[in-house]
Amino acid sequence: MNKGIILSSILATSAPFALAEEDTAAVATRGSDAQSESHALSLDEILRLDESTDIASVFKETPLTVGATVSSVTEEQWRGHGARRTFDALRLLPGTLVNDSVAGTQTVSIRGFTTNSATGTALLLDGVPMNTFSFGHSFYSLPQFNLGLLGKIEMIRGPGSTIYGSDAFFGVISLKTWESNKDRLQAEVEAGAFGYVHPTVRLHKNITEDLSFSAGVSVGVQEQIGQDYDYSDLFGTLTGNPTGQSELKKGFDQRSGFASLKYKQTELNYYHHSYETQGWPHLAIEPFYSRAGQGDYTGSGQTVSLKSEIPVGSSIVAEPLLYYTKSEYDFKTGVFAGPVDTENGLFADNSGVDSRLGGRVYLKQELTGSIPIKWVAGYSLDQLTVEEAAYTTVIDAIAGTPVKLPSVDERFAGKKRTVHGALVQTDARFFDERLQVLAGGRYDSYSDFGGHFSPRAGLIFHPTKESALKLTYSHAFRAPSSSELFGISIFDANQELRPETHDSFELVGMWNPSDAWKLSLNVFKGSFRDGISLVLVDPVTFNLQAQNVNEFQNQGVEFEVRHNAKFFEVFGSGSYVLSKQVQPTELTQEAFPSVILNWGGQLVMLEDSLRLTLNNRHHIGQNSAVESLTYTAVELDPYFRTDLGVTYRVNHLLKSLNKPVDASLVINNLFNRTNLQTSIWGWNNGYGIQDPGMSAQFSVRAEI
């Protein structure tokens, strides 16, 4: 089976509480407090809530001035469309597609660049990098961090290596935990279809004027969706039963917690997460596994960080960060069709432990004068370690008693990587700040394969204070992971691998003529070279090896428009992307939608106490799977889903309540359509993975 790297076109809707330019200090100072008390704000204030971002430049920027394509989503937004798992919150972001991957984990595709191994996207948890050396991504090490403990998620769509190094090949996802600047104790309970329950408790306490403490605990459990499906099975075909029936349970149990102690500008943070799944699709590797088998996942991790802001001289600020993170994972994947049977079945067990110890320091300065200049210089040091990695097979060999074969250490177990990085970024502004000139670069030195330089450049012209024309270039790279370099299971080692490279150009127009209108148009073109893909090197033993064999190109257009009045908001967005493989053979990639259209709105009534939110999403030109030699992907019917949300501030009815109490109802897939999405690993013969039917969930949030 070829691992395959698929380019696709995607764009998801802006969230119901869309963000606009920050132009009042009052809204900026409220932060997460304002998000938690959104009904106390007007619709216009919510649209301008906490728009500033530092993910793409280290400095706080607005969408008009930042030199990258950045999206933000707050908890009020993902609550509005009923997100249950972490990356469900990103389903309504422009240029982003969330995929179900192995055994209930998720992957995120950005602007069509997609690998079924999930590499190329950097994940940050309050600034701490979470990607591992084992697989080069974070979707197994930190598959979920409960949304109940997050206040905001930021995302770069496009290369981010000039700041974040190798991990940020296609984009960057930054998870930011909930925070407050005043004493509060907040509790919330969500409950919904498929046995879903999600309680959350969050606390902030100002101990003294300079010392504060924050903490939170959140648990999310989904018993089962219970989706029936028919399948054609290789083993069944050999025994005269080519068609069978089974059921996907799709259950999960996710638990997260954090604690933060802050003294002035110094923070000590601790995070814990665990995630278990039952009965999800797993990868299909023939002839060893059934195409319709299932997988279970168990994983957990802990992270500790210490960060600060330290004035150096009159205007230079130092921002040091130290961190340590450790995670473990365990996949059980059934070989035959149906659920993993730990009593009588034949299944494989892959497990491992990864750790990452490191730190970085930024020095930054904002110079005023006739030519304002912002600059940042930084240094980072990381040590990534694969502490454990093993493979075990369990078979039903004797009278229903499972026999566990000896555990075998993977060839990449025990491997280490040390990375030194240095960066410089500048932003100079000319002609009364109408023209921004951006330049910068980062050099990374690796202990196991050498170094790489990632440059970045851009021009931003502001015809007016409310508009911007941007022309940007970014280069990124991805270093091979430990499993690609040293081999895994039947995959052979290849220590001659070169890093993948990605070059991206963007031309962006933005116009915000007033707080009532927001418009943007983005044209982009990218090329991806030296793509690492699994190649069959021995047809007798079916051995595979990671090799630099692929080259891809993509180009496309994204647009977004929003209009809000006093009592309502309407929005629309869309994209068209043409993507193709040009090496080793030319092939148009259609595993993901070539066209996505999104539209909806929000209506505010009863003195801002009642909010109705509607989101519609369309996928057109979507294939059922990544192409493979063992099955042929087919074009899926157009995807169309409608989600309806209703939020009511109970205080409007019960005037005696002193603290805010909100009740919310979200109905997903309102018209109960049968929607299929791409199976990136070809599960179920490559026929696609079905979305759940119509479902609902109800929540109550209260200040205590």
Residues in the chain, total? 704
Closest C-alpha among 162, 161, 158 to residue 170: 158
Q: What are the structural domains of the chain?
A: 5-703 (2.40.170.20)
What's the burial of 298, exposed, middle or buried (CB within 10 Å: 0-12/13-18/19+)? middle
- Which residues touch 65 (CB under 8 Å, ≥6 apart)? 436, 460, 468
What Rg do the C-alpha atoms of the chain give, in angstroms? 25
Q: How far apart are CA 430 and CA 370, in angstroms?
A: 8
Q: How far apart are CA 592 and CA 626, in angstroms?
A: 9
Q: pTM for this one?
A: 0.89
Contact present, 349 and 376 (Cβ < 8 Å): no
Identify the pLDDT of residue 10.
Answer: 24
Identify the pLDDT of residue 161.
Answer: 92
pLDDT, tens digit, 9 for 90 and up, residues 321-355: 999 999 999 988 876 666 776 655 667 788 999 99
Closest C-alpha among 55, 61, 57, 63 to residue 129: 55
CB atoms within 10 A of CB 473: 15
User: What would the DSSP string read from start to end of 93-135?
Assistant: STTEEEEE-GGG-EEEEETTBEETT-TTEEEEETTEE---TTT
User: Two tokens at 289?
Assistant: 């596994």
Question: Which residues does the chain have with pLDDT short of 70?
Answer: 1-51, 114-117, 231-243, 283-292, 335-338, 341-346, 394-407, 490, 587-590, 625-632, 682-686
Identify the pLDDT of residue 382.
Answer: 96
Q: How far apart are CA 581 and CA 579, in angstroms?
A: 7
Q: Where are the beta strands (DSSP E) in 447-489?
A: 450-461, 467-478
Residue type (1 letter), 233: D
Helix (H) or strand (E) holding 235: helix 234-238
Alpha carbon distances (Å) from 243 to 235, 236, 237, 287, 293:
10, 7, 8, 17, 13
Q: Is the peptide bond before 281 cis (omega within 30 degrees of 0)?
A: no
By DSSP bridging, strand 128-129 and strand 5-6 are: unpaired
Closest C-alpha among 636, 621, 640, 690 to residue 8: 621
Q: How far apart are CA 569 and CA 77, in angstroms?
A: 14
Q: How far apart are CA 303 and CA 286, in angstroms?
A: 37
Residue type (1 letter), 507: L
Identify the pLDDT of residue 48.
Answer: 47
Q: How far apart are CA 154 and CA 173, in angstroms?
A: 6
Contact present, 592 and 620 (Cβ < 8 Å): no
Q: How far apart are CA 348 and CA 694, in angstroms?
A: 34
Q: Which residue has the tokens 């930084």?
A: 378
Q: How far apart are CA 421 and CA 534, in angstroms?
A: 29
Identify the pLDDT of residue 550.
Answer: 85
